[in-house]
Copies of this chain bind each other. A is one copy, B any other.
Amino acid sequence: MSTISAQHPYQQDQSSPAHSPAKGRGLIRNILNTLSLSAIIGLLPVTAEAAESGNTLSDVSPALAQADQTLVGKELWQRAGLSARDRSLVTVAALVARNQSYLLPRELERALENGVKPAELSELINHLAYYAGWDNALNAANICHVIFADHKIPSEQLPAVDPELLSFDKEAEDQRQSFVSSTYGEVSQGVVDYTQTQLFLDLWRRPDLAPRDRSLITVSALVASGQPEQIGFHLNKAMDNGLKQKEAGEALTQLAFYAGWPKVFSALPVVKDVLNKRQK
C-alpha cells in the first residue's frame, strides 16, 4: 500500500503540510485498521465461485437473477425501435443521473461493446455534470477512468478541452435566452448567465456527442431523476434534433427497468402531451 495517494480531488492543487501525502498515508493506515462490517459489506462482495457460477444474485433472489440474465440482460437490448447503442446511452445516463455506481462498470463495458465511442462516453459524463450534478459526473468519471485504462484508450481519443464548436441557430438561442433572462434574471442572474455561456453556447455545441445524443441522455436523465416538469422542453429539443417518436417510447421501456416503473409513469403524461402537440 506504499503508493496509496493521500490526496483527494480538492487537495490536488495544494501543497500545504496539512495535506501532505505522508500525513495522509498515516491517516489511511489508521482508517484501514478500523473498517467496520458495514463498511466491508458495502464493497459489493462477490465470491470467485459465485461469480463463476453466476449465482450471487440468485443467493438472494433466483427470480431476479433470471430476469437480470434473460429479460433485462438480453431481451430488452434486442427490442426493435431503439438500437443497442442508443439503449446504452439511455442506461448509462440513467445510472449517472441517479449516482448509481453498482451497475455502472458493467454498463460502461456494455456501452463500449455496443459501439458507443470512448469520446462519446467522455462527453456524456461532461454533459451530465451540468444536467445531473458535479458529484454525479466526477464519481462516474472516476469509475470510467478504470474502464478506459483497462481498454487502453489513448488520450488522443478524448474530446479536446476547446474543440471547434458546432454551429447553432443564433435566433433561436437569442429567443431562449431572452425569455429566461426576462423571466428569471431578477431571481438569479448567475444562473441565467451560466445557462447561456456554459450550456447553450458551449456544452451543447461540443462536437464529440451529437446534439440528438445529448438530447437523448438529457431526457433520460430527467426521467430517471423524477423531474417530469423539465421533460417537455428537452423532449421537444430531442425531436427537433432527430429523435424519433418510436425511439422515445423505447427509451421509456429501457428506463422502466433501469430507473423503475414509477419514474416512467410520471413521465408518460408529459411525453404524450409533447407528442400530441407536435402532431398538430
Contact partner of A106 (CB less than 8 A), chosen from B10, B40, B189, B257, is B10
Q: Which of B60, B107, B135, B137 contacts A10 (CB 8 A)?
A: B107
Point out the residues of chain B lying under 8 angstroms from A102, CB to CB. Answer: 38, 42, 135, 138-139, 142
* Max count, chain B CB within 10 A of own CB: residue among A47, A125, A265, A271: A47
With CB as the reference atom, state the residue of chain B lying closest to A6.
B37
Residue of B nearest to A274 (CB): B187
Known contacts A44-B36, A95-B135, A258-B134, A263 near B8 by CB under 8 Å: no
Q: Indicate whether A78 reaches chain B with its CB closer than 8 angstroms.
A: no
- When distances are taken between beta carbons in the complex, the residues of chain B under 8 Å from A159 are 61-63
Query: In the complex, A81 Cα to B191 Cα: how many Å?
Result: 13
Query: Per a CB cutoff under 8 Å, which of B37, B101, B191, B227 touches A7?
Result: B37
Q: What number of A residues sit within 8 Å (CB to CB) of B?
A: 143
Q: Does A178 contact B (CB under 8 A)?
A: no
With contacts A11-B37, A183-B268, A226-B226 known, what are 20 further pairs, Cβ within 8 A? A4-B35, A5-B36, A8-B106, A13-B54, A13-B69, A46-B142, A57-B142, A59-B149, A60-B145, A60-B158, A61-B122, A61-B123, A62-B158, A63-B162, A64-B129, A100-B139, A133-B258, A188-B271, A190-B249, A194-B256
Kindly list the 9 A-B residue pairs having the minimum CB-CB distance in the complex, ordered from nearest.
A10-B106, A190-B253, A8-B38, A36-B46, A188-B249, A39-B44, A100-B135, A102-B139, A133-B260
